[in-house]
Chains A and B, each alone.
Chain A
Amino acid sequence: MTGLLEVEHLTIRSPGDPPLVREVSFRIAHGERLGIVGPSGSGKSLTALAIAGLLPDGLTVEGSVRLDGREILDLPEAELARLRGRRIAMVFQEPLTALDPARRIGRQVAEPLAIHGLGTPLERMARAEALLRAVGLPPERASPDSFPHELSGGQRQRVLIAAALAAGPDLLLADEPTTALDLVTQRQILDLMDELVAGRGLALLLVSHDEGVIARMCRHVLVMEAGRIIRSGPAAAPSTGGAVLPPQPRERPEPPALLAASGVSRRYRLPGGAIRQAVDRVDLAVAPGEAVGLVGGSGSGKSTLVRLLTGLERPDAGLVRLDGRDPAEPAVPRHPVQLVFQDPFDSLDPRWRVGRILAEPLHGLRLAPAVRHRRVLAALAEVGLPAEAVRRHPHTFSGGQRQRIAIARALVAHPRLVVLDEPLSALDRPLQEQVLELLAALRARHGLAYLLVSHDLDIVRRLCSRVLVMAEGRIVEEGPVGQVLLRPASAAARALLAARLAPPAPPVAPPKAGDYEP
């Protein structure tokens, strides 16, 4: 096999700082697949961007990148541009923003053909339509005349893949191509990439923080950390990890429940006048000290249900009772239930210092300033952050630390129920592990009840004893976590289980000959 891509001693620097990527070397043969895995900030995405000459401004790069033996690292922008799309194509992480909002998708898929002067305009549009079909977007599902905002995230990622393949490249660089997608869509997109890459004999460099994704697609993996390759070898399924808590031998929650909902429904009017039943006659109960998981695909109504249960919104029909009272009543104190949200970057006010952020749930409790301060410091200590954090702003903390701050904010009011809405989704796997352990320890220490909303059954399994499965606004299945995981009764639960990437690592199809000609 000849080397298609050879990277040697690649070093990327931001002037004045230690190198972001140091001395990275690897090679990819025609039709071969290689994965790069590592936590955020390990330099894996920068490595991919450097190969395509798309590094952000202000970074300098040294070393060597050869394509078919030809040095491309020091090529002028115009010559490098000629390789992009035609020889080296790229798929990015964020499908919601990666497409031009003002252009129809057909034209965007055809754009690489136009740029490289392949075919007549008419042929290009026909080609774009065929490509959209090949990525599972036939005209009846998404017309080539649609604009990106009319498509879902998964569909937009399909459009990007179609565009990346349009001019028949030899090498596909995929930078976290499924990270922003929910698990079911992630699985579909990986299947699609697998099929297309194998069918066209493409070489693939797949960058991800998720070992499961790499194991699904690649045989060989490089592990990066702090800008260096620290390990290289066969891609293996990640360890699934043991339960943080021993499964609790808890009987059905005995009344009175801490949180109870009966026949709760909520509908919305969509733009255009259609009615959407977001939550449909849901009954549920959470006992004091119980940890209940709420799982479901995106759009199943989980988030709306959470808003109803916490009194942020009123149901159209049905009753919600928190400690026997309606949480949507203005006079009912809110502090017994606290929320932790998915994104620790968005859920903390960037202009407030941490001390003020943490004291906010205490507003209205009429505590003496000294008591308030003691509570804030105690909550910080609980989540393992130093007391001096109160004087700092959120942006001076890492993502994992910010999620700890969000958890501390929930704890400070001494709640009885904490609603965790996808609390780990925005974190790397090692950080997920730490936060998971913290949540388990806090629950044991304070006898907290948790309602954990997630699409990730593995996380639910490790924190909760009972799980509710939601689909199309209804609870379609309910039971002990072990039972639902082993013998799922509903189609929704089976779909979520099938979307889990661990442990299968299917063999990679041998590259086939037959170059794609546009």
Chain B
Amino acid sequence: MRPGGIPRSVLRIAAALLTLVLASVLVFLALNVLPGDPAAVMLGTEARPDTLAALRRQMGLDQPQPLRWWQWLSGLARGELGTSHTYGVPVAELVATRAAVSLPLALLALLVAVGLGIPAGLFAATRHRRTGDLATMAVALVGLSVPAFWIGILLVLLFAIGLRWLPAGGFPGWDAGILSGTAALILPAIALGLPQAAVLARVTRTAIVEIMRLDFVRTARSFGLTRTEALRRHALPNALPPIVTVLGLQFSFLLAGAVIVENVFYLPGLGRLVVQSVGGRDLPTLACLVMLLVTAVVAVNLAVDLLLLRLDPRLRQRG
């Protein structure tokens, strides 16, 4: 408990909500107030002034800025996201179909990163400064250096064109069945997840190696644990805070930063939608997308903060 009796977790949640409100102001300012009239863009340069004024009135552009911000934000909260200028469909529907691709893709990629990165980091830590460690870290360095799209192209060459195990690209939609949907996401998830696995392996190894040197690990061994058991029971739980912090950053990146891999595999994901709506000046869609990604990042950060409070009892008290 803190002075004033407010638990730390409540303070963190309040801070996250405040961040979202501030972000909405920034997004609104960037998209609506800065030069460039959306109505003028829609009508083109030949538009007559009275047509332009009518459209501005119809779009609500003639109202004061703070009021427009509030209407937009409360609309977002109620789920009224407006209509996409480019596609002519409700933004909510558009974003939902894209998120149905991007979210599973990010989760799968995270699974690849955790499933490969953490065991590799643990393996390297147990063989600190020996051959196994050096080999693992060398592979991780290659994984870090090679761009995800290049890994994607190699994967397509091998598994789609060579072995014909998995589709080379495109997304059949979840209506075509969970299996074929997932199959379409496997190669992109590996391409996205491998560089992240390399980062995670390095973070895990460093954290574990540092903790294995600490006194309490020796104490645990004096109780009767072997080195490996002490690593699993004492070093790993204490190494989780840095690992979880990195995972949180990675998830945000995987959700929003998959544009290139989505392009390599022709996936209809959020990343491509961002690029398309920027190109088409589709402001309602863009505003909604940016807010969605901001919300996702803030939410993941909040989850990481709350998890860290659980993992390290010392954080719960410090002021």
Point out residues on A near B: beta carbons under 8 Å. Answer: 52, 54, 77-78, 81-86, 89-90, 92, 94, 97-103, 111-112, 115-116, 147, 149-150, 160, 163-164, 166-167, 271-273
CA distance A84 to B225 in the complex (A): 8
Is B146 interfacial (CB-CB < 8 Å)? no
Q: Does B312 contact A (CB under 8 A)?
A: yes
Known: A101-B312, A149-B314. A112 touches B224 (CB 8 A): yes
Q: Which residue of B has the minimal Cβ distance to A87?
A: B224
Q: Which residue of B lies closest to A109 (CB)?
A: B223
What are 30 inter-chain pairs, A to B, with CB distance below 8 A?
A54-B222, A81-B221, A81-B224, A81-B225, A81-B226, A84-B221, A85-B222, A85-B224, A86-B224, A90-B222, A92-B215, A92-B218, A94-B215, A97-B215, A98-B218, A100-B237, A100-B238, A103-B237, A111-B223, A112-B223, A115-B223, A115-B224, A147-B314, A150-B317, A160-B219, A163-B219, A166-B223, A167-B223, A167-B224, A271-B319
Is B238 a contact of A84 with CB atoms below 8 Å? no
**CB <8 Å contact, B3 and A272:** yes
Residue of A nearest to B241 (CB): A102
Residues from 1 to 39 in B contacting A, C-beta threshold 8 Å: 1-4
Residues of A within 8 A of B319 (CB): 271
Are B216 and A97 closer than 8 Å at their CB atoms? yes
Cβ of B177 within 8 Å of any chain A Cβ, yes or no, is no
Given contacts A54-B222, A89-B222, A102-B238, contact A271 B318 (CB under 8 A): yes
Name the 9 nearest CB pairs between A and B, nearest first: A85-B224, A90-B222, A147-B313, A97-B215, A112-B223, A115-B224, A85-B223, A81-B226, A98-B215
- Within 211-264 of B, Cβ neighbours of A (below 8 Å) are at 214-216, 218-227, 229, 234, 237-238
CA distance A184 to B128 in the complex (A): 42
Q: How many A-B contacts are there with CB distance less than 8 Å?
A: 90
Nearest B-chain residue to A115, judged by Cβ:
B224
Q: Report how far A99 CA is from B219 CA in the complex, Å.
A: 7
Assess whether B293 is interfacial by the CB under 8 Å rule. no
Residue B103 lies at the interface, judged by CB distance under 8 Å to chain A:
no
Q: Contacts of B215 on A, CB cut-off 8 Å?
A: 92, 94, 97-98
> Does B153 have its Cβ within 8 Å of any Cβ on chain A?
no
Q: Which residues of chain B are within 8 angstroms of A83 by Cβ–Cβ distance?
A: 224
Q: In the complex, what residues of B have CB within 8 A of residue A89's CB? A: 222-223
B304 at the interface (CB under 8 A from A): no
* Bound-state Cα–Cα, A92 to B222, Å: 10
Contact of B94 with A by CB under 8 A: no
Q: How large is the interface on B (under 10, 10 to 19, 20 to 34, 35 or more residues)?
A: 20 to 34
Q: Judging by beta carbons under 8 Å apart, are A92 and B219 in contact?
A: yes
C-alpha gap A149/B216 in the complex (Å): 13
A97-B214, A97-B215, A101-B238 are contacts. A81–B229 as well, Cβ < 8 Å? Answer: yes
Does B311 lie at the interface of the complex (its beta carbon under 8 Å from any beta carbon of A)? yes
Q: How far is the CB of B211 from chain A (nearest CB, A)?
A: 10
Contact (Cβ within 8 A) B221 A54: yes
Specify which chain B residues have a CB less than 8 angstroms from the CB of A272 in the assembled complex. Answer: 1, 3
Tell me the bound Cα distance from A150 to B316 in angstroms: 11
B313, A102: Cβ atoms under 8 Å? yes
With A54-B222, A98-B215, A112-B223 already in contact, the answer to whether A271 and B237 are too (CB < 8 A) is no
Within the complex, what minimum Cβ distance (angstroms) separates B316 from chain A?
A: 9
CA distance A272 to B1 in the complex (A): 7
Separation in Å of the A80 CB from the closest CB of chain B?
Answer: 8
The residues of A that contact B221 with a CB separation of less than 8 Å are 54, 81, 84
Q: Considering only CB atoms, which chain B residue lies closest to A77 in the complex? A: B226
Residues of B within 8 Å of A111, CB to CB, are 220, 223
Q: How far is the CA of A273 from the CA of B3 in the complex (A)?
A: 6
A44 to B214, CA, bound (A): 20
Min Cβ gap A56→B in Å is: 9
Structural contact, A271 and B313, CB atoms closer than 8 A: no
Q: Bound state CA distance, A235 and B220, in angstroms?
A: 32
Chain B residue nearest to A149 in the complex (CB): B314
Given the known interface contacts A99-B216, A101-B238, the answer about A271 and B317 at a Cβ–Cβ threshold of 8 Å is yes
Residues of A contacting B223 in the complex (Cβ-Cβ under 8 angstroms): 84-85, 89, 111-112, 115, 163, 166-167
> How distant is the Cα of A101 from the Cα of B237 in the complex, in angstroms?
10
- Cα A33 to Cα B180 with chains together (Å): 72
Within 8 A of A (CB), among B194-224: 214-216, 218-224
Complex Cα distance A54/B238, Å? 21
Minimum distance in angstroms from A150 CB to a CB of chain B: 8
> Contact partner of A100 among B3, B216, B229, CB < 8 A?
B216
Contact A271 B3 (CB under 8 A): yes
> Residue on A with the closest CB to B222?
A90
